[in-house]
Structure 1
Amino acid sequence: MTPTVRQARAEDRDDVVAFAEQVWRDRPDTVDYIPDVFTDWVESDGPDQRTVVAEVDGTAAGLCQALRLTGHEAWFQGMRVAPDYRGEGLGLAMVEHCFEWVRDRGATVGRNMVFSWNDAGLGQSVAAGFEPDTAFRFAHPAPDAGADPDTPVENDPAAAWSYWTASGARTHLSGLALDPDQPWALSELTRERLHRLADDETVFAVNGGGTSGMACRTGERDGPDGDRLAEYAVGAWEDRNTAAALFDAIRADAAALDVDGTRVLIPETPRHVAEAAAVRAELADWPDFVLSADLT
């Protein structure tokens, strides 16, 4: 069987929804987002985005989307294969098609994200040419207008950058943070991006006689339950006291925005996860894994 990989069309929706609803049938509490976004994906395809399906005998049996995030970084998401066609090479065919598409647009590295519990997705990604890169978790400190950091926290992108570049968090995360334009993608956090965020949103630098932590807000997003979230591309800190000041600054910032909750990307290390828990920042139930592929 040789699948045909082609750009997705609006009329593929019924096929895609049918298999997307079966992909995680062994996890009844997990709802796939693909049925909600497929039409938007097709309509918004353009120079920096391509959504493809793997067609078998006239039926769409696989899905993948490629995004060009920066001049050299690509992101791959939504990789799904109908359960009846697993092991038939559809995922590999779609990824190879998407690799070639982003290469033609200058990408030298491609990444994707897989939930840590998704054994099939992890195996499929490695088989398609991705290598494990890093892991992160989302923290969700609740907005609190009364939160008052014990240590000064300033909107200082230069200090935040200096801390980030030498931090263990940056090393663990391979320099990645949430992309400001794609809510489920990660890209390299640069000095220029931090300065833009300081002007357009806010950057936090915890400074109590030397910078010991940083974070940056990328904007607001709609959450999965219809709530409004303030999103922070990354949070990094030196110790528990710094974590307390950083998360208090985030709580107060989110309250000033009048949002319902927050989403802060933190490194999936024992220290960062434990210290975030110690300062009462609610944590996601599981980490997420990022895998990368050399496209050169």
Structure 2
Amino acid sequence: MTSSEGESTLTPVVREARSADADAVAAFTRDTWGERQEDYIPRVFPEWAASDDPDSATFVATLPPDAVAESDAIEASDDRESGDTLVEGDGSGAAAPDEPEAVVGCIQGVLLSEWEAWGQGIRVDPAARGFGVGTALSAATLDWARERGARVCRNMVFSWNVMGLGQSRTVGFEPATEFRFAEPVPDASDVDATDFDALDDPDPNAAWAFWNESDARDHLRGLTLDPDESWACSALTRERLATAAAEDRLLAVADADALAGFAVRTRVTERETDGETTRTATYGVAAWRDVEAAGTLYRAIAADAAAVDADATRVLIPETVEHVSDTGANRVPVAAEPDFVLAADLTGSGTTDDL
């Protein structure tokens, strides 16, 4: 099973996920981040595996049961037992039909546009480290995206997840951008008059022109939160701004001279935790001219969030000294750490078999 240098000679077999894999995936993702934060994979994987959406694909990596049966990672976990990641094989994974195989990793690929793909939810069972599981899953996803015409595949990694960042670089992802979430408190109360006004009927073309000349666009490489896929970033388009304006989700502020900032409400979601439901308004991007314009824009966001009955907000802003300090100067809270976006170029010929 191992070479003379201690590395495994077994190769994980990647196959499409099945609903029957859900319990196995939950077993090794239940405590991914420890006390730092809850992993969302056990909650969403059943839906991913059951989906027949042609624009998404969920994969799992499999190994023979003996490969992980005696791993120290299982013995060290209070929530793990040997065999809790075993499923019945169908011949497409590491086992013959009706024989057991261990599910040791997962990932999902999503097409965000005709040329952009997104990779998310990659997880590797700690009991299967050293088998090349992450590389195999990434290769399968990049090949899937390339076969469907995507020219780039991006992913997002928490800035503190050094192992995840290293894994992404190893399989061909390069640094793209970084952002942070500002968190203004929803507030419908009147604010003091300023030199800027929140516009009642923002012009999406004016917002598009402002975006293309902004430092925010340059730093973010043109990316904002995707309107359809949570936690994914895709290129902002003029059509997307027009849709937001038509649906009263485009916010803008201006002074006597010109537009001075804008934001887009991407979605409103509800999440129940410990019996309490939190309603969050998420703004896929915010850009502004200066610190004063930022203040008026944040107040407009706070009022908009209150209007949709939100309890909390998230506003994607560039991770720059200017944008974060402008936010702080307006006494708007920000998330403690940024998030990193990486991108893999898929324009080359061939597949990722050499990874």
Q: The TM-score by the shorter chain falls in which range?
A: over 0.9
Q: Normalized against structure 1, the TM-score is what?
A: 0.96
Determine the C-alpha separation between the residues in 1 that align with 2:235 and 2:282.
16
Task: State the secondary structure of the residue aligned to 1:77.
Answer: strand
Counterpart-to-counterpart distance in 2, 1:45 and 1:2 = 28
Shift of 1:211: 1.7
Deviations 1:189-212 (A, max 9, x none): 011110011102321222102122
User: CA deviation digits over 1:231-278, x for unaligned, max 9?
Assistant: 111011121100100000001111111111111100000111111112
Distance across 2 between alignment mates of 1:91 and 1:48 = 22
Query: Is 2:340 the partner of 1:289?
Result: yes
1:141 paired to 2:184: yes
Higher relative contact order (CA 8 A, sep 6+): 1
Task: Give runs of aligned pairs for residues 147-296 of structure 1, distance below 5 A.
Answer: 147-148=190-191, 150=194, 151-154=196-199, 155-208=202-255, 209-223=257-271, 225=273, 226-296=277-347
Counterpart selection for 1:3 from 12, 16, 28: 12
Deviation (angstroms), 1:224? 7.0
Partner of 1:50: 57
Preserved CA contact (<8 Å) 1:147 1:248: no
Residues 24-52 of structure 1: per-residue CA shift (max 9 Å, x gap): 24xx2321111111111112242001010
Match of 1:272, SS state, is helix
After TM superposition, give the deviation of residue 230 of structure 1 in Å: 1.3
Q: CA RMSD in A?
A: 1.3
Ranges of 4+ aligned residues in structure 1 off by more than 3 Å: 223-226
Q: Which runs of 5+ in 1 are unaligned?
A: none
SS of aligned partner of 1:184 = coil
Aligned residue pairs total 294
Aligned match of 2:46: 39
User: How far apart are 1:20 and its partner, in Å?
Assistant: 0.8
Say which structure is richer in helix: 1
CA contact (8 A) 2:31 2:38 kept: no
Distance across 2 between alignment mates of 1:253 and 1:3: 49
48 and 170 in structure 1: CA distance in 2 versus 1, 3 angstrom threshold: same
Q: Secondary structure at the match of 2:262?
A: strand
2: distance between equivalents of 1:79 and 1:147?
A: 45
Decide whether the 8 Å contact of 2:31 with 2:39 is kept in 1: no
- Post-superposition shift, 1:158? 1.5
Displacement of 1:147 in angstroms is 4.2
The 5 Å alignment of 1:96-111 reads: 96-111=139-154
